[in-house]
Amino acid sequence: MKTLNFTVEEYRERVRKTKESMMEKGIDCLIVTDPANMNYLTGFDGWSFYVHQGVIVLLDQENPLWYGRGQDGNAARLTTYLDEADIYPYADDYVNSTEKHPFEFVADILKKYKQDKKCIATETDAYYFSAKAQAVLEKNLPDATFKDGYNLVNWVKIIKSPAEIAYMEKAAVIVQLAMQKAYDVIDIGVRQCDAAAEVIKTLIKGTDEFGGDYASIVPLMPSGVRTSTPHLSWTDETYKDGDTVILELAGNYRRYHCPMSRTMILGNASDKVKSLGATVSEGLTAALEGIRPGMMCEEVERIWAKTIEKSGFVKDSRIGYSMGLNYPPDWGEHTASLRPGDHTVLQPGMTFHMIPGIWLDDCGVDTSEAFVVTEDGARPFCHFRRELLVK
């Protein structure tokens, strides 16, 4: 009854690399609470990350251990390659309790596996790992040593396997359908929520060959003055003549993302928006074409910055980040960023979202491409016209 998205060998190889990194850092036990990392190491899937759950990697155990809420135990049985003995469901009165905390249960597991005097690392700055969780763990394991395991698995997963790239290519097919749908339905007088509904439907429906999964971020589609900031979504107002509409969408296939941004202009757009659109598109294309494996991330940003210099526009934020497998609230992997000071060396199989959006006081433009680093450059996942989408 198990359904796995990758071979057991691929999962075991990921665990092996994780243990290798743990050994280098002197970590005996890694508590993985980031849902994307849990999925990466074991296959675990489900919208249960709203309660404390995780996967524990022990140097001296072959399989990771899963812990989570009792009613989610069957999700671990159905979606992971783990054995029954590796699955630790906790009782329901640990949930949202003022008296019991799930990390007391985690501490008990670690004692059972004789980790209570070992070096334990947690993902200290990951989503869903709270300050309280760390405090309860330290209180219940007074003889353990604690290290920071934040991003350890994220760095292991930065280079994608061919099977992972193939999933992202399916996500790319889906996001292109959704972007075209957005262009088709958005118009003056149409309600934003009606357009969003069609876009999301397209993302989930997928193609006749494969369906879509939910993206880690809902479609971001601000319009008008709301394009002065990148993370607003739709309202139930209608689009107006002269509106700029930013569309940041992502296709998702089995939790793997392919994001894409484009900017639409309805009717008469201001010259400022048109000029901003041309600048962003030119800089994006130059940076993409300039990428070579062996380059550092900051060099990609430098190509962008040099290209747009003459325009007078300035971008004071990073122009891209590593991404792939993820769960809400983010598809970014929190490792390499395309920005000054980032010395990560680009290697084949790394996947990024290059999104050099510029937001001014009253408007903004986003145009982006997801790409994979190849043996001799960068291959964008999508093929969709890169200029402003005028209607």
Q: Binding to its own copies (CB under 8 A): which residues in 287-316?
A: 316
Task: Tell me the window of 7-15, 111-119, 128-136, 262-270 that interacts with its own copies (CB under 8 A).
Answer: 128-136
Assess contact for 120 and 101: CB atoms under 8 A: no
Q: Which of 330, 377, 384, 387 binds its own copies (CB under 8 A)?
A: 330
Please state the closest distance from residue 143 (CB atom) to its own copies, in A: 19
Q: Which of 6, 150, 313, 384 binds its own copies (CB under 8 A)?
A: 150
Please state the closest distance from residue 376 (CB atom) to its own copies, in A: 28
Q: Which of 188, 225, 345, 390 binds its own copies (CB under 8 A)?
A: 225
Sequence-ordered list of residues with C-beta below 8 angstroms from that of 324, at least 6 positions apart, any chain: 157, 160, 164, 168, 256, 257, 331, 333, 351
Is there binding between residue 45 and its own copies (CB under 8 A)?
A: yes
Beta bridge partners of 262: 247
Assess contact for 216 and 331: CB atoms under 8 A: yes
Indicate the residue among 174 and 291 with the shorter CB distance to its own copies.
Answer: 174
Is there binding between residue 6 and its own copies (CB under 8 A)?
A: no
Give the Å distances, CA to CA, from 129 to 122, 151, 155, 336. 8, 13, 18, 21
- Residue 127: count other Cβ atoms within 10 Å of its Cβ: 17
Please state the closest distance from residue 311 (CB atom) to its own copies, in A: 19
Please state the closest distance from residue 134 (CB atom) to its own copies, in A: 4
Binding residue count for its own copies, defined by CB under 8 A: 86
Indicate the residue among 299 and 301 with the shorter CB distance to its own copies.
Answer: 301
Beta bridge partners of 337: 321
Among the listed residues 332, 175, 326, the one whose alpha carbon sits nearest the alpha carbon of residue 317: 332
Indicate the residue among 107 and 217 with the shorter CB distance to its own copies.
Answer: 217
Binding mask 46-75 for its own copies (x = CB under 8 A): xxxxx-------------------xxxxxx
Assess contact for 96 and 132: CB atoms under 8 A: no
Task: Tell me the window of 7-15, 180-188, 231-239, 288-296 that interacts with its own copies (CB under 8 A).
Answer: 231-239
Q: Tell me 146's DSSP state.
A: E
Q: Binding to its own copies (CB under 8 A): which residues in 84-103?
A: 91-93, 95-96, 101
Q: Which of 232, 278, 296, 305 binds its own copies (CB under 8 A)?
A: 232
Q: Would strands 389-390 and 358-359 be described as parallel, antiparallel, or unpaired?
A: unpaired
Is there binding between residue 329 and its own copies (CB under 8 A)?
A: yes
Q: What is the DSSP string of 63-76?
A: S-EEEEEGGGHHHH
Spacing of C-alpha 125 from chain mean position: 15
Is there binding between residue 184 and its own copies (CB under 8 A)?
A: no
Is there binding between residue 317 and its own copies (CB under 8 A)?
A: yes
Please state the closest distance from residue 353 (CB atom) to its own copies, in A: 13
The H-assigned helical ranges of 6-87 are: 8-25, 35-42, 73-79
Is there binding between residue 240 and its own copies (CB under 8 A)?
A: no
Q: Which of 61, 161, 233, 275 binds its own copies (CB under 8 A)?
A: 233
Helix (H, G, I), strand (E, B) or coil at 347: coil
Is there binding between residue 226 and its own copies (CB under 8 A)?
A: yes
Beta bridge partners of 148: 122
Task: Tell me the window of 59-67, 123-131, 267-275, 379-387 that interacts with its own copies (CB under 8 A).
Answer: 123-131
Indicate the residue among 233 and 275 with the shorter CB distance to its own copies.
Answer: 233
Q: Binding to its own copies (CB under 8 A): which residues in 191-210?
A: 191-194, 196-198, 200-206, 210
Among the listed residues 65, 104, 58, the one whose alpha carbon sits nearest the alpha carbon of residue 88: 65
Provide φ and ψ at 178, rounded to 5°: -70, -35
Please state the closest distance from residue 159 (CB atom) to its own copies, in A: 18
CA distance 114 to 118: 8
Beta bridge partners of 380: 371
Is there binding between residue 125 and its own copies (CB under 8 A)?
A: yes
Q: Which of 6, 113, 214, 384 binds its own copies (CB under 8 A)?
A: 214
Indicate the residue among 18 and 33 with the shorter CB distance to its own copies.
Answer: 33
Q: Binding to its own copies (CB under 8 A): which residues in 342-371?
A: 357, 359, 361
Torsion on CA atoms 202, 203, 204, 210, rounded to nearest 10? 90
Assess contact for 352 and 333: CB atoms under 8 A: no
